[in-house]
C-alpha cells in the first residue's frame, strides 16, 4: 500500500542569475511538461527547483536531453485540512513514527490542500499517515 503513495519529484538545478528560471520554464513548455506543484530553494549561486510534474520520468528524460541537471526524489503528499493545526497533525504523526522531515511545501489542487514531504523513510511515513486515518495522495491524484 505505501509504495503507491510515493511520488516522484524532480529536483532541477537553476543558476541564480536573471533568465535562468525562464529558460528552464521554456524547456518545460516546449516539451509539454505540466508542473502541478513546485518550490524553489535558494543557495549561494544556484537554486533547486523542486517540482511535481504530470509525467516525471518523461520530464526527467527531456530535461537531461537539454543538458539540464535534474534528478528524481521520492516524496509523499498528504491531504491536509485547511484549518489551524493541519501542519501540526502531520508533523506530530511523523515525529511519533520516528520519521524525519527533511523539507516540505504546500499545494492546493483538485483534491484540496496537501503537503509534499521529503522524509528519510517514505514508506514508513505513508504507513503512519494511513494508520492515523489521513490520506496520502498517489502520483495520479496530483
CATH class of the domain defined by 74-141: alpha beta
Over residues 45-104, the pLDDT tens digits come to 789 999 999 889 998 999 999 899 999 999 999 999 888 999 999 999 999 999 999 999
pLDDT of 12 > 80? The answer is: yes
pLDDT of 2 > 60? The answer is: no
pLDDT band at 125 (very low <50, low <70, confident <90, very high): very high
Q: Which homologous superfamily is 5-73 in?
A: VC0802-like (3.30.2130.10)
pTM of the predicted model, to two decimals?
0.87
> Which residues are within 8 A (CB) of 16 and not within 5 positions of it... i.e. 6 or more apart?
42, 43, 44, 45, 46, 47
Over residues 126-135, the pLDDT tens digits come to 999 999 999 9
C-alpha cell at 11: 529536483
Predicted local distance difference test score (pLDDT) of residue 108: 86
pLDDT band at 1 (very low <50, low <70, confident <90, very high): very low
Can you give the residue ranges of every domain in the chain?
5-73, 74-141
pLDDT of 36 > 60? The answer is: yes
Residue entry with cell 499545494: 107
pLDDT band at 112 (very low <50, low <70, confident <90, very high): confident
Please report the DSSP string for 112-139 in residue order: EEEEEEEES-HHHHHHHHHHTT--EEPG
Predicted local distance difference test score (pLDDT) of residue 9: 95
Rounded Cα–Cα distance for residues 101 and 110 (Å): 25
Question: Are 5-73 and 74-141 the same fold in CATH?
Answer: yes
Amino acid at each position: 500500500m505505501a509504495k503507491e503513495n510515493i511520488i516522484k519529484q524532480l529536483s532541477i538545478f537553476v543558476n541564480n542569475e536573471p533568465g535562468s528560471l525562464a529558460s528552464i520554464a521554456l524547456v518545460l513548455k516546449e516539451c509539454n511538461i505540466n508542473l502541478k506543484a513546485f518550490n524553489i530553494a535558494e543557495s549561494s549561486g544556484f537554486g533547486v527547483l523542486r517540482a511535481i510534474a504530470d509525467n516525471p520520468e518523461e520530464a526527467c528524460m527531456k530535461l537531461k536531453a537539454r543538458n539540464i541537471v535534474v534528478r528524481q526524489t521520492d516524496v509523499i503528499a498528504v491531504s491536509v485540512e485547511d484549518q489551524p493545526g493541519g501542519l501540526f497533525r502531520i508533523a506530530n504523526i511523523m515525529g511519533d513514527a520516528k520519521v524525519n522531515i527533511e523539507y516540505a511545501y504546500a499545494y492546493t489542487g483538485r483534491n484540496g490542500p496537501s503537503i509534499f514531504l521529503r522524509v528519510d523513510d517514505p514508506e514508513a511515513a505513508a504507513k503512519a499517515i494511513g494508520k492515523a486515518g489521513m490520506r496520502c495522495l498517489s502520483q495520479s491524484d496530483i
